A and B are shown apart, each in its own frame.
Chain A
């Protein structure tokens, strides 16, 4: 389609650049606008009246405002994965090639079948879905589909967002929010004092209402003053000016969040820490509430002035003004300048309230609007005289309405500022001087026109909330049904719950409720203001945190060596960990089985660097560890290692690991990978908050040391081949030993410990030597049949051995006794968790206890996650006796095995139970056995 002429563009005027013509499309039609336009102003310039459909009734809607308060002009901007739904046309700077589509209409905006909902409007009042979809109960699946289809506004893109979003931290001495006159004055003063400041504004140009007001500033025309002010600020290197940037959260002052909308759909989230914040957010003009107040062509008076003066647009040909305050009278001059005929000025106040009697314009004092005409564009009004009810009809295509001004205090309230209702303006003002941020200009009520109380609207389709189609009838109904509190009314009727967050509806709604309830607006109160002030794109919130950079990723010092060895990695917590090392196209199961068999028969090597490692030093270190671990450590000799169990204060098992004594007052703890961070915090908290008198120092050395475990019958041969500078035979270096020395010339700490159940050693070396260690082990191990094994093989072997693991057996509910480790718990000393560990509930009968399970048929792998029952699954309710924590086919034993937590399991060895998985529709009969399937006597481990 060829470009439409800009039929509603004034021949001159405005702050647009008429030399820069821009082409754009809306719903597939091509139009033209100018540099400096918004999508909204360009649509108006092209005579596009209809920009959207309302949410519930799909009523045709035009633009109401010119700012972020816009409830109607929501569009989908862009195409494909760059598309953004629910953007306000009033806030989208026009650019060449812009593509926008209307929302919530099918098959098209001008002919929307959804509008049939309007025919049933009388049945679709507030809360109708709560009442309607209850019966018949069986129809709910049908209703659900309907509701899901109708719910939501706009369609997000389905694929990855190609835009580049980012987070940007910034500190400053002063943040000024809002760059209208008051904000510019505040910024200029601070800049003159040499302060480092940020001035932000949600519009594409700074200046706010200076673009359309006429009052001189410092003796200059508003725009001339504005130019001067912005130029001064631009030249100051300590000033950062941010247009197209919305401050949307002040909830955690001095932290303020801003969203900057940058070209190309790239968003930047500014995380600002400001010494001081000035809120100069201005005020939002309120609509008036009367029947049919939502037709295209009915706009806020200030918006019409803005479109005329800022964009050189003529929003209509024949206008009427309706107001309850003086400010709308100022629009007369702008209408005249745009050659728009004024058919009348309706002042809802008594005649004597008018500030002046305009020449040549019929004034209807003490009138209100009884109804409007026109479907997709306003055609006329019916007025009702307040004294005798007589009616007057007026023809017009543009209605300017002004219901007073609401200071923009959402951010102030988010920051904890208290609001007070000011009857003079019918809106809230900051309560007192002890506010979390300074409020200036119209946001503080400065220059805001006094407003007459709003008369109660009567008649159908008097909209309170345009976006969510909430009418005065809805509020009346909700109150009749007992929803008296403003918070309840908001949620029941959805007023103020749209993407505009009630910027144009909240005050009207609470004034209406106050009048209906016969209470003061102050007594009615207000709803809670929460971030965001305006919708924020998810891209800005995520910033760089997506895909590869979704979360921080840790790599072990052996990462490159693992890659070279062909590891397939898996994320374990923050760590990238080798899962298995497939050979020649092996699948995972085959690779795991091979790695297990090789380790059991020869020798394997596994990267253990992710284990938490905490260095504990200080004269009170032994005392500290005695309190932290529930097993006895007092007699741990230097050069020895002991398995340690930590309890939480409630007696539940928290973590397990090793404690190595390197010196009289020097220990090294290892923790599980999963709990390393938590254990670190736990120990720091205990030291700093509970036992600050203990002279100890804690240092996480996880990153400083690389760790390899070698395991298998040939592990000692491998170790010997590596040439340690101390003896490693069974007698010299027995099980549970630790020693520092050199291995192949590399500095090491050698541990004789094992998680796999094999003869095993852990070799720790400073992380920078990791690859050298790997290389040395690889070379020395080759003749011995060394193969690396991954996380999965390690898990298989620990299960075969019956070793417990965090997340499966240590699950936040089990105690050492439940897991067969009760004998380790000291009965002599005091330790964290002792008192509650001894409570009868944790000691008595009925506890879930760790057992092994084997299928009776000897071949069926028990279903993972299965419940344990006394009988086979027959689709009927059964009592659960416990559940499986791990289950697999054992390559070493060549039959399936499982670990389970079974009620009183320690007394049930030899019993038969059923492993039942209703989800898998599987029941397997299993024998209860010891959890130590492999080498139960520990001959291999201690060999």
Chain B
């Protein structure tokens, strides 16, 4: 019988220390236990079929959709991340298993490969925008937008939830290193 261990958080200690003296207008939290599945396919024709299979919820490139606690983040032409706070990877895929197989769409469970940081508050966007080479400013990176970008050699995926809340998907092994950069940036205003 498989143990039901929740994946442990990685940056909670750092976030706890930060939160005690956090600047105004910025709240940082680590999103726990999120299921993240990467779907890949090849060809525009399959894109359209996949969209149908997903009930029209396949977002356009650089955008995301959300429905009943599940989200889809389309960060590349033929790749999308399916995310969910409640479903396991198998459950998330099981819903569409047949249509995915028929279309030749492959999936990989990356739930444990990412640490997801949520930055919220009026300063959240400004802080992240000043660190990223991609334009994350309010007028250009609207709610729902998704982008893969580089932040000082850290490859990250940024998702704009709303005007004052963004999520950053970090490769797990780089999480603490990225945290140090973030702290440095916030400290310097």
Chain B residues lying within 8 Å of A934, measured Cβ to Cβ, are none
B135 in complex: contacting residue of A273, A557, A768, CB < 8 Å? A273
A880 and B130 alpha carbons, distance in the complex (Å) = 55
Question: Which of B8, B173, B174, B175 sits near A771, CB closer than 8 Å?
Answer: B8
B29 within 8 A of A: no
With a cutoff of 8 Å between Cβ atoms, the chain B residues found around residue A268 in the complex are 188
| A552 and B184 contact, Cβ closer than 8 Å, known pairs A169-B131, A695-B42, A699-B108 | no
Determine if A291 is an interface residue (Cβ-Cβ < 8 Å). no
Q: Which residue of A lies closest to B110 (CB)?
A: A704
Partner of B154, one of A271, A552, A704, A742: A552
Residues of B within 8 A of A703 (CB): 112-114, 171-173
Our pick among B131, B177, B180 for the contact of A554 (Cβ within 8 Å) is B177
Q: Among residues 748 to 772 in chain A, which have CB atoms less than 8 Å away from a CB atom of chain B? A: 766-769, 771-772
The closest CB in chain B to the CB of A617 belongs to B106
Question: Beta-carbon contacts of B122-148 to A below 8 Å, as 1s and 0s?
Answer: 000000011111010101100000000
Return chain A residues, CB-CB under 8 Å to B137.
171, 196
Q: What B residues does A557 contact at CB under 8 A?
A: 172-173
Checking A167, A266, A545, A747 against B2 with a beta-carbon cut-off of 8 angstroms, the contacting residue is A747
Contacts A615-B108, A747-B2 known; A549 to B184 CB distance under 8 Å?
A: yes
Give Cα A733 to B118, complex, Å: 44
Interface residue A514 (Cβ < 8 Å from any Cβ of B): no
B152 CB within 8 Å of chain A: yes
Task: Assess A772 versus B177: contact at CB under 8 Å? Given A164-B188, A171-B137, A704-B110.
Answer: no
Q: Which residues of A contact B7 (CB under 8 A)?
A: 766-769
Determine the chain A residues whose CB is within 8 A of the CB of B152 once the complex forms.
167, 544-545, 552
A769 CB to closest chain B CB, in angstroms? 6
Task: Report chain B residues within 8 Å CB of A167.
Answer: 131, 152
Complex CA gap A695/B7 in Å reads 33
Q: Is the Cβ of A767 less than 8 Å from the Cβ of B139?
A: no
Chain B residues whose C-beta falls within 8 Å of the C-beta of A552 in the assembled complex: 152-154, 174, 177-178
Asked whether B30 is an interface residue with its Cβ less than 8 Å from the other chain, the reply is no
Task: Please determine whether A166 and B112 come into contact, CB atoms closer than 8 angstroms.
Answer: no
With contact pairs A169-B131, A617-B106, A695-B42 given, residues A555 and B176 touching in the complex (Cβ less than 8 Å): yes
Distance from A475 Cβ to chain B, minimum over Cβ atoms (Å): 44
Q: Are A767 and B129 in contact (CB under 8 A)?
A: no
| Chain A residues bordering chain B, tally (CB within 8 A) | 47
B17 at the interface (CB under 8 A from A): no
Given that A704-B112, A766-B112 are known contacts, is A699 also in contact with B38, CB under 8 Å in the complex?
Answer: yes
CA distance A744 to B2 in the complex (A): 8
Tell me the nearest residue of chain A to B4, going by C-beta: A745
| Nearest chain B residue, comparing its CB with the CB of A543 | B152
| A window 882-919: CB within 8 A of B | none
Residues of A within 8 A of B8 (CB): 768, 771
Q: Could you tell me the distance between the alpha carbons of A301 and B177 in the complex, rounded to whole angstroms?
A: 53
Contact with A along B149-189 (1 / 0, CB 8 A): 00011100000000000000001111111101100110110
Alpha-carbon distance A81/B2, docked complex (angstroms): 57
A167 to B171, CA, bound (A): 22
- Closest chain A residue to B105, Cβ basis: A697
Q: Do the beta carbons of A166 and B188 come within 8 Å of each other?
A: yes
Chain A residues with CB under 8 Å of B112's CB are 703-705, 766-769
Residues in B whose Cβ lies below 8 Å from that of A166:
184-185, 188
B residues less than 8 Å from A501 (CB atoms): none
Closest to A771 in B: B8
Q: Answer whether residue A391 sits at the interface, using C-beta atoms and an 8 A cutoff.
A: no
A133 to B176, CA, bound (A): 54
B106 in complex: contacting residue of A548, A554, A697, A744, CB < 8 Å: A697
- Min CB–CB distance B10 → chain A (angstroms): 9
Binary flags per residue of A145-159, CB closer than 8 Å to B gives 1, else 0: 000000000000000
The answer to whether B185 and A544 have CB atoms under 8 Å apart is yes
Question: What residue in chain B is nearest A621 (Cβ atoms)?
Answer: B106
Contact present for B1 and A745 (CB under 8 Å)? yes
Closest Cβ–Cβ distance, residue B151 to chain A (whole Å): 9
Q: B139 — which chain A residues lie within 8 A by C-beta? A: 196
Contact indicator B173/A554 (Cβ below 8 Å): yes
Which residues of chain B are near A545, meaning CB under 8 Å? 152
Q: Across the interface, which residues of B come within 8 angstroms of A553, CB to CB?
A: 174, 176-177
CA–CA, A685 to B185, complex, Å?
35
Interface positions of B from 83 to 122, Cβ below 8 Å from A: 104, 106, 108-114
**Minimal beta-carbon separation of B122 from chain A (angstroms):** 13
User: A771–B152 Cα gap in the complex (Å)?
Assistant: 29
Which residues on the A side are within 8 Å of B177 (C-beta)? 549, 552-555
Within 8 A of B (CB), among A519-566: 544-545, 548-549, 551-557
Interface centre among A555, A575, A771 (most CB of B within 10 A): A555
Whether, in the assembled complex, B20 has its beta carbon less than 8 Å from a beta carbon of chain A, the answer is no
Q: Indicate which residue in A551, A575, A699, A766 contacts B153 across the interface (CB closer than 8 Å).
A: A551
- In the docked arrangement, what's the CA distance between A501 and B140, Å? 38
Contact B153 A704 (CB under 8 A): no
Given the interface pairs A168-B130, A768-B112, the reply to whether A555 lies near B2 with Cβ below 8 Å is no
Residues of chain A lying within 8 A (CB to CB) of residue B6: 768
Interchain nearest-CB distance for B40 vs A (Å): 4
Q: A701-B108, A768-B8 are in contact. Are A745 and B2 (CB under 8 A)?
A: yes
| Bound-state Cα–Cα, A618 to B7, Å | 29
**Residue of B with least CB distance to A695:** B42
Which residue in A695, A745, A768, A769 is a CB contact (below 8 Å) of B104?
Answer: A695
Contact of B3 among A551, A618, A745 (CB under 8 A): A745
A697 touches B40 (CB 8 A): yes
Taking A549-B181, A552-B152, A742-B2 as contacts, is the C-beta distance between A704 and B104 under 8 angstroms?
no
Tell yes or no: A721 within 8 A of B by CB. Answer: no
A273 to B153, CA, bound (A): 18
| Distance A169 CA – B185 CA, assembled complex (angstroms) | 11
Closest-by-CB residue of A relative to B33 is A768
Hey, what's the 0/1 contact readout for A602-631 against B, CB within 8 Å counting as 1?
000000000000010111000000000000
Asked if A544 and B184 make an inter-chain contact with CB atoms under 8 angstroms apart, the answer reads yes
Knowing A544-B181, A617-B106, A704-B112, the reply to whether A769 touches B153 (Cβ < 8 A) is no
Which B residues touch A615, using CB under 8 A? 108
* Cβ-based interface call for A736 (8 A): no
Closest A residue to B32 by CB, please name it. Answer: A768
Contact status A171-B140, CB under 8 Å: yes
Tell whether, in the assembled complex, residue B132 and residue A555 are in contact, meaning their CB atoms are under 8 Å apart: no
Most interface-central of A166, A545, A556, A557 (chain B CB within 10 A): A166
Interface check A41, CB cutoff 8 A: no
Q: Is A504 an interface residue (CB 8 A)?
A: no
A170 within 8 A of B: yes
Chain A residues whose CB sits within 8 angstroms of the CB of B111 once the complex forms: 704, 766, 768
CB distance from B175 to the nearest CB of A (A): 8
Q: Nearest-CB distance from A683 to chain B (Å)?
A: 14
Contact call B3/A699, Cβ cutoff below 8 A: no
A190 at the interface (CB under 8 A from B): no
- Cβ A169 vs Cβ B184 within 8 A: no
| A768 partner residues in chain B, CB cutoff 8 A | 5-8, 111-112
Bound Cα distance A439, B185 (Å): 34
Known A168-B130, A745-B1, A772-B5; 17 more pairs at CB < 8 Å: A196-B137, A266-B188, A273-B133, A544-B152, A555-B173, A617-B108, A699-B40, A699-B108, A702-B113, A703-B171, A704-B110, A704-B112, A744-B3, A747-B2, A768-B111, A769-B112, A772-B3
Q: Residues of A with Cβ closer than 8 Å to B?
A: 164, 166-171, 196, 266, 268, 271, 273, 544-545, 548-549, 551-557, 575, 615, 617-619, 695, 697, 699, 701-705, 742, 744-747, 766-769, 771-772
- Could you list 18 examples of A-B contacts with CB < 8 Å? A167-B131, A169-B130, A268-B188, A553-B174, A554-B173, A555-B176, A695-B104, A697-B42, A702-B173, A703-B112, A703-B113, A703-B171, A704-B112, A704-B113, A742-B2, A744-B3, A745-B2, A768-B8
* In the complex, the 7 A-B pairs of residues with the closest C-beta atoms, listed nearest first: A768-B7, A704-B113, A745-B3, A554-B173, A697-B40, A171-B135, A766-B112
